A and B are shown apart, each in its own frame.
Chain A
Amino acid sequence: MMNTAYNFAFFDEGSKREIRRATLKAIAIPGYQVPFASREMPIGRGWGTGGLQLTLALIGKKDVLKVIDQGSDESVNAVSIKKLVSDTTGVQLTESASEATIIQSRHRIPEVPLKKEQILVLQVPLPEPLRYFEPSEHETKKLHAEKEYSGAWLMLFEQIMKYGSMTTGADHPVMVHDRYVMAPSPIPRFDNHKMDENEALILLGAGREKKVYAVPPFTKIVSLDFEDYPFEGESFEGKCCRLCGSEGVFLDELIDEGTGETYYQCNDTGYCYEVLNKAEKAGVN
């Protein structure tokens, strides 16, 4: 049931309009970080306020919402965000990636390919891919304007010099449509290719850093790499999920504390349940 003490979707209409306007600009300039007036939220900055503001500004009564936190539908952060949105809008919630119209996610892109009616909202802690290379915002804005991205490659070069390979565990920088270098939010390298030429609209919001940016449908996304050190996602070859048996998905490595045995499980819990349910219906188990 919707809590009518608040305006629909928590924000007043003016705030929503401001966020939508920034979002439209972000879609018009793929990969460009659009500044916006990040609002005070009932959750702390750095806990998904950027994504939440985008979701609240976009959501309508007919939308179906899914919220994931590092692949899980049931973690505290995901549940709290879901509660807030459903309390103030009354929209339908789901755990199925294919049923949702808006998917707000922290650090994962679902295993089920996105469709063209869907919007994926990613929560971003650090939107600036050049930040470690150049601490000043004034300077990084100039670097983006002049398409001067040697810093992004230099950071990868340094990793190769130090460790022998590119060591970005997540948030591996990508080139958007041959123009802007973008931080894809801390999704694992495994998910980077899912952004390329993808059918859905992907929006990225950083509440603490007050930036919104976007990857519109069918945008070319290339992960940065070198000729002799090509980009590679995490490999789970020869491993499968202990519960549903899926292969070729992003797996969590877990250790059974009793036996000391290592096992693997789908990181995307919604996907794992779907596979399990389907199997049960078919009467396999």
Chain B
Amino acid sequence: MTEFEVPVLSIKHLNKQFGTGCAHCTNPEPDALIKNYCKVCGTVFACRDVSFDVYPGEVLGVVGESGSGKSTLMQCLYFDQEATSGEAYISSYQNGLKNLFQESSQQKRYIRNNLMGKVYQNPLLGLKIDFSSIGNIAEKLIAAGSRNVEMMEARGTDLLGKVNIPIHRSKEAPKNFSGGMQQRVQIAKALSNNPPILLLDEVTTGLDLSVQASVLDLIKSLQRELNISIVLVSHDLGVIRMLADRTMVMLDGQVIEQGLTDQILEDPQHAFTQQLVHSLL
């Protein structure tokens, strides 16, 4: 091996706070905060100095309890929320030299539409619930510049087939679908323009077990087939064990532990990770 692999997505020192902060909480003293909350000014520090790299074809798992900043992290990555500070680079955008967080909102939209796909925990956020399923997929393709109906219809039908939505229901609106089907339509939409990076935020939470299994199966096979890099947020360690190559554990907005998934699950170092692993039923 002559060169190191270049990460597809690289995040450096990402911070996200809700509130302005005050003299009390910007003080580096260890007990300045209650968990991630400043009791003086009420600021919540949702993500604190989060840094990580994702390599081509790799699945990075993010675990942690509710309120640990997992979803906020994902929202910052997809520009749903503006990061307070930090840097993000994508290797296929401007040769990975431009900090994405400092791009204009038009450029951010371009990145979202062309280089990323996201599946939300709540399908209502990721889909236009009244538009047809195939229209939902076309939306992403149109946003990425396609103006050919035949091509978009073919691509949409193909993807809906991949996620096991019957063809005769492709023109139906997702509001008529079950939660699991909606989630699968969302996955098809996120995959529509072959994004190098896919962000999955609690995709299987709230689905019944058999549907969970088929959705996970689908993600795994698509990821292998298309060599997509995935950032996968879940509090379900089973999902993480099955999909993630590498895992990072978050607590109160900070990354407290990261490493190979097997290592994290078999030999947790941090007290919180130990508790998390041992509370697995």
Contact = CB atoms under 8 A, between A and B. Distances in A.
Contacts of B132: 158, 161-162
B171 interface: yes
Interface in A133-175: 133, 142, 145-148, 150-151, 153-154, 157-158, 160-162
A228 interface: yes
A229 B149 contact: yes
Given A150-B142, A162-B171, A157 B149 contact: yes
Contacts of A151: 139
Given A162-B171, A226-B147, A228-B149, A157 B142 contact: yes
A150 B106 contact: no
B135 interface: yes
B153 interface: yes
A256 B192 CA distance: 53
Interface in B71-122: 105-106, 109, 113
A257 interface: no
Contacts of A133: 128
B180 to A, nearest CB: 23
A154 B106 contact: no
Contact of B109 (A146, A158, A161): A146
A154 B149 contact: no
Nearest to B139: A154
B148 A153 contact: no
B150 interface: yes
A153 B131 contact: no
B127 interface: no
A147 B106 CA distance: 8
Contacts of A145: 105
A156 to B, nearest CB: 9
Contacts of A142: 105
B134 interface: yes
A9 to B, nearest CB: 42
6 closest A-B pairs by CB: A150-B143, A150-B142, A227-B148, A153-B142, A158-B135, A226-B149
Interface of B: 105-106, 109, 113, 128, 131-132, 134-135, 138-139, 142-143, 147-150, 152-153, 171
Interface of A: 133, 142, 145-148, 150-151, 153-154, 157-158, 160-162, 226-229
18 contacts: A146-B105, A146-B106, A146-B109, A148-B109, A150-B142, A157-B135, A157-B138, A158-B131, A158-B132, A158-B135, A160-B149, A162-B132, A162-B171, A226-B147, A226-B149, A227-B148, A227-B149, A228-B148
